[in-house]
Structure 1
């Protein structure tokens, strides 16, 4: 299926994939701004703004916004990450105008009233409290805050204090500075008529015009080392062990993803088998790479005990060193590639996932990478590539760990 890249009259790129055998469509507006772009004193503003976009416009109340989509049997939602904020709708194809009208309305006409802001700040604070009560969630935020220097360590939700201090003036200022055409991409996947959707978008979001404003943002990041202990009354010790990761565009990013899969990507992975199955030292064990434009953090998580967490740390270090020294086997490489390629294929089975893939690719590379190109790159990874990647990320000067629990 061919992907077309067009532009609205205000310059916003529109990525369109027409899928004839579907009766639905997913449309998302992707804004290249998130927690990473927040300045000191406004942590959490990206996420709070995402909430506020649904709290009323000049034309519709908050209830009317949700009811309009619900009445058509559709879905409207949004999410905020470190580097982007996304608003999307999923509808039957012939009802797409309803979705574009709603998204246009919230982008052009949101009122951000003081009353709704104070109410929503309380909602977000309750959300923060909820995560505070989930130690296996909390440890990851605290881990990044400790292991990374730079605004990439900003927590998406912010803190209770920072959210309380976000004024309407601060919220509107951030909105006007960051929600500009040059930082936006629209992605559409499903059964869609190209001319119809372009007309709808140009009639609506195509009228968005704002002055460009470059805020004083320092994009530098560095990886710290050391131990971070957070004392909590918990039954488990929640451990995150880190080393240097890779950026979203690093040449070795797929090699690092394969290493992560082999270490902690599934129930047959090395660390899961050794830490849980052979030693019984943890229930949950997995690894992941947090990637940003500027760099990344490679993390292994384990839920263990006060008596065993030091042994778990030693086992993680030993496994890092073994891959760095001896690499991996041909069988491990083939299995990891198969899983990677399966995930890519699974990610093409819904209009929403296709919408996300197109936009994410465009925001990173300013083009939509062809799937065959990605598959070829993954298939071409050798045992030597894995060993070279391991030598770059597994270095003790980048090792750090956060332990949350009753120490």
Structure 2
């Protein structure tokens, strides 16, 4: 059963009781992320998240870790482009301990110099590791290409030159400005009663006061283009992005169906067309990335340098095919059933339920039942998928990032731009028609 309470200080508490389990999954979401950072603050929200659980005025990092070990659970955090999240999973006997711990780290973390310098080094290594991973690098370069000069196009971890300069005063100021009760959502799913949980939250966070201002909306301008980063690799890694809808857009259900149909698994069109039928790739997949201010349909994979242009050509042809040719009822039914099945199976997990609770409250301000989500997916028809594909291809913009060996004989930015942006649409449509199986 879903319940929601807003505390006197503005904290929103949302819960879903699952009496059949003994565990509880808890998360705290703060409405602050890279979307709130100026360029000279890039990575600050992520830096703050790294410093949590490193010590408070009453507990050190080892004591915090041992407390959660005893509870049989895990504790951690992550920074998304829209918000910062801290989470824990524990046996229901220890939910009071978990909430007390959250209240302690949010309100009483000391951010001592030793921890700050250690986490600075850790974050710099994290950035370097992402730069060394060609698939991660291609993804980051894609967002920087399609959303330049916008927070959605920046690295969540920040730029190294900014991370090196962060001082303790910057951390304290950032927390005082953004870690305010009306910007907090506390969600839980599992074994608990709502009123008891609310009382425990109130006990842990009653000292949290203040009021923040809403984050300004900044719709990103979309830029078409190609970025190539040379790396000494045997494979070429690519990330192709098409402008899509923001998180709360009414078309979101149709985009989930379109994405799953295109590259959501081993029966998807791209996987069958590029790997199973032609052997051009080992892996290829698509994903729908939706945020408060924008969205992106991303197609990622890897191939040989000599195969890249063929892979890109066939990929764009498949997008045009979706735009021009109605789906068969059988393919649409199978896609919707695949999404429905995955959604219902995941709903049996406390962490999934908790995650849905908190993200729905963050983006919509209300709860969307699983039954309604399934119903909306089932209502996506052939016309909706075709309309969305047409809008993506005709009215949207495409960008590409490539990471791999320099091979001008096989591909170049100019040739790719011609294919993606200035290419002969009729030839792409012809390829799409000839590629139908």
Gaps in structure 1 of 5+ consecutive residues: none
Q: Tell me the distance in 1 between the aligned counterparts of 2:296 and 2:162.
A: 25
1:163 equivalent in structure 2: 163
Pair 1:181 & 2:181 matched: yes
Distance 1:200 1:365 in 2: 25
Number of residue pairs matched?
Answer: 405
SS in 2 for 1:361: helix
Residue in 2 that maps onto 1:195: 195
The residue aligned with 1:93 is 92
Aligned to 2:111: 112
TM superposition score normalised by structure 1: 0.96
1:315-345 deviation digits (Å, cap 9, x = unpaired): 1111111111113221111111011111211
Output the CA distance in 2 between the equivalents of 1:129 and 1:136.
13
Structure 1 CA distance, aligned partners of 2:217 and 2:29? Answer: 22
Computed over aligned residues only, the root mean square deviation of the Cα atoms, in angstroms, reads: 1.5
1: distance between equivalents of 2:10 and 2:211?
13
Distance 2:287 2:65 in 1: 35
CA shift, 1:379, in A, is 1.1
1:295 aligned residue: 294
Give per-residue Cα distances to partners, 1:243-293, cap 9 Å, x unaligned: 111111111111111111111111111111111112111111001111111
CA positional deviation for 1:114? 2.1
Alignment of 1:8-407 (within 5 A): 8-149=7-148, 150-213=150-213, 219-395=218-394, 398-407=397-406
Task: Give the C-alpha shift of residue 218 in structure 1.
Answer: 6.0
- Give the superposition deviation at 1:111: 0.9
Question: How many Å separate the matches in 1 of 2:22 and 2:225?
Answer: 53
Partner SS, residue 223 of structure 1: coil
CA contact (8 A) 2:28 2:87 kept: yes
- Where do 5+ consecutive residues of structure 2 fail to align? 407-437
Choose 66-75 or 185-194, whichever is displaced more.
Answer: 66-75
Deviations 1:99-139 (A, max 9, x none): 01110000110111222111110011111122222111221
TM-superposed CA distance for 1:71, in Å, is: 2.3
Q: Deviations over 1:70-124 (max 9, x none)?
A: 1232211111111121111111111111101110000110111222111110011
Contact map agreement 1:32 1:183 (CA 8 A) in 2: yes
TM-score of the superposed pair, with normalisation by structure 2: 0.90
SS of 1:41's partner is helix
SS, match of residue 30 in structure 1: strand
Contact conserved, 2:180 with 2:212, CA < 8 A, in 1?
yes
Which ranges of 4 or more aligned residues in structure 1 deviate by more than 3 Å? none
